[in-house]
Chains A and B, each alone.
Chain A
Amino acid sequence: MHTPDIEREVRSFVITNFLFGQPLELQPEDSLLAGGVIDSTGVLELVDFLEERYAIKVEDAEVIPDNLDSIRNIATYVAKKISCVV
């Protein structure tokens, strides 16, 4: 799976679950936390989604802004994880 596809899916998940279908002006690089899009329990839901959808294990140490705080970071992180799995 390619990064742009993952990015599209993650964006759709974020919009459905955290913005309830209202895309606002969410740019791929925007900080989800600083923008008030997700909060601490939102991060847990996001991790559950990523683990289930992409069959990866998100380690505690990987739950950091560099991996999960923007749609682009998430897509890049997931792509890297998938390539490790394969």
Chain B
Amino acid sequence: MQVEQFLENSATQHPDKVALISGSERLTYRQIDDEANRLAHALIASGVKRGDRVVTFLPNSVEAVLAIFATLKAGAAFVVLNPTTKPDKLTYILNNCRASAMITWGGRLFSDPTGWIETPHLHSVFVLGANEAQAAAVQSAGKKLIRLEEVRQGTKDAQSPAKKCIDIDLAALIYTSGSTGRPKGVMVTHLNIVSAATSITTYLENTADDVVINMLPLAFDYGLYQLLMMFKLGGTLVLHDSFAFPNVVIEKVIREGVTGFPIVPTASAMLLQMDLSKYSFPKLRYITNTAAALPIEHIRKLRALFPQVKLYSMYGLTECKRVSYLPPDQLDVRPASVGRGMPNEEVYIVDENGDRVGPEVIGELVVRGANVMKGYWELPEETDRCLKPGPLPGERVLYSGDLFRADEEGYLYFVGRKDDIIKTRGEKVSPREVEDVIYSLEGVAEVAVIGVPDPILGNAIKAVLTLHPGAQVTKQDVLRHCSARLEDFMMPKLVEFRVSLPRTESGKISKRMIAEDHQNSSHAATNV
């Protein structure tokens, strides 16, 4: 099975059912399938071929959904980018995956040709709402400009293009933070997605009657899968663009009869700050949390607020989509656990020699299943570091880089990361990527980026830096420089200037000592 068949099968079985609610638009499965077919034909006509990569760079919207499915129908792999991605990183990713086409909107389009000239592989730009200057910039760089409005309004080519792919072909590249500072493209096949979506919808007991709200970016696999899973089952997706106005989300949950509400700890912290007692949620069946563990206090309060709702604590990695979930009936028994492997997936813990360990021993978590990625795009060494030989000859399993222990009954407990990746707002941030950006600011001598506990973000990003003698750099300068280069979730919240940074005996900057200093100073502040 291929991923675009999620949509095609649902369009056959439930043609007139509302599939997608986004802003003021409500589209049925038939409408989405017809529109995605038209866009797929337009992609093919522009020169997109089987196996090409097509970047979707759009806010959560109907167009983003059409772009994903049209790319698959054209036989290409979709690459969804966070709409707050800045020009340097956008250019890097367009070139890294050698995207042949991009589907985007006027909001963040390069308005001078330079940006376009730097992406030689990109031949076509499909755009919504581009102004004349932006359109001229695209065209003067020798690229085709296709207006998305015109494709959407068209009436021809409503049939699906002929299938060219098989299920071990690439369906998507999902870019994730790498410890080297450059994002890595996780190679996901159709089979990976079908397997993961089947396992997850099985344990969540999803049906075509489900209505799921998604306010997470589609660039984030947790957000993306809400769409894929609803379309697989013929359910309804309510697509929203942010959790900035929680009341708007809550009202949509009630108005649209939402049954499934995926959150991350930051959203949970915001929900728990609100007075929700005046609302009732008769249709809401489940809440899921992943990306980072919910504090036990949040779990307790959420259960009090939503007594009839099943709460799923889950844990995942982009490299295999989801690792584990805690059955809701276990929440009172072991609230700190992230549960067990999902259906049709094996998870186990190994020591440094790769041998399986017994209960209560800390080791690295290993994941085995058809949901495990093919590797990192064109990074064979990094791929070999995390995909290692498994039980069968020739087989490769995923070494997660996360330290875990299991209890006597096999339930998993997260212990820590083997690397220094920071989890903030549910997303992974490479300290190196933020450091590289800050190092490029004139006057900065040294910088260390760490994660520090934050009640809303989970971890907040803190940059500690020293300046060259005589340099005048303010916190605002640092933040302004970062905001032009980093996505919103990567932005430092705290910036501290020091005369020097602490070092280990071998002379490396000691992030451990910086983190300890932060902890001591925040304790001191609390005690004042």
Contact = CB atoms under 8 A, between A and B. Distances in A.
13 contacts: A19-B480, A20-B476, A21-B476, A22-B480, A35-B107, A38-B244, A41-B266, A43-B245, A44-B270, A60-B246, A60-B274, A64-B245, A69-B245
B480 A20 contact: yes
Contacts of B248: 64-65
A16 B245 contact: no
B288 interface: no
Given A38-B244, A39-B488, A43-B245, A21 B266 contact: no
Given A60-B275, A63-B246, A64-B248, A41 B480 contact: no
Interface residues of A, number: 23
Given A19-B480, A39-B242, A40-B270, 6 more contacts: A20-B477, A21-B480, A33-B245, A35-B107, A60-B247, A64-B245
A61 B266 contact: no
Q: Give the size category of B's interface with A.
A: 20 to 34
Most chain B CB within a 10 A radius of its CB, from A36, A41, A60, A64: A41
B95 interface: no
Interface in A51-67: 60-61, 63-65
B456 A44 contact: yes
A28 interface: no
Contacts of A19: 480, 483
Interface in B102-132: 107-108
A16 B456 contact: no
A40 B476 contact: no
A16 B248 CA distance: 27
Given A22-B480, A41-B266, A60-B274, A36 B242 contact: no
Contacts, number: 58
A40 B456 CA distance: 10
B457 interface: yes
Nearest to A38: B244
B476 A36 contact: no
Interface string B155-175: 000000000000000000000
Interface in B413-467: 425, 456-457
B244 A33 contact: yes
Contacts of A43: 244-245
B483 A63 contact: no
Interface string B245-267: 11110000000000000000011
B225 interface: no
A68 interface: yes
Contacts of B275: 60
A39 B244 contact: yes
A21 to B, nearest CB: 5
Contacts of B107: 34-36
A33 B242 contact: yes
A63 B245 CA distance: 6
B479 A41 contact: no
B494 to A, nearest CB: 13
B328 to A, nearest CB: 26
A16 B322 CA distance: 39
A11 B479 CA distance: 18
B245 A65 contact: yes
Contacts of B267: 40
A33 to B, nearest CB: 5
Contact of B245 (A22, A41, A68): A68
Contacts of A21: 476, 480
B459 to A, nearest CB: 13
Contacts of A39: 84, 242, 244, 488
B81 to A, nearest CB: 13
Given A22-B480, A44-B270, A60-B275, A36 B244 contact: no
A36 B84 contact: yes
A65 B270 CA distance: 16
Contacts of B246: 60, 63
Contacts of A42: 244
B36 to A, nearest CB: 25
Contacts of A65: 245, 248
A21 B266 CA distance: 27
B83 interface: yes
B243 interface: yes
A42 B241 CA distance: 15
Contacts of B241: 33
Contacts of B425: 41
Interface string B397-421: 0000000000000000000000000
Contacts of A38: 244
A20 B457 CA distance: 20
A20 B483 contact: yes
A34 B83 CA distance: 10
B86 to A, nearest CB: 10
Contacts of B479: 20
A41 to B, nearest CB: 6
Given A20-B480, A21-B476, A60-B275, A40 B247 contact: no
Contacts of B488: 36, 39
Nearest to B86: A36
Nearest to A18: B483
Nearest to B274: A60
Contacts of B456: 41, 44
Most chain A CB within a 10 A radius of its CB, from B59, B244, B425, B488: B244
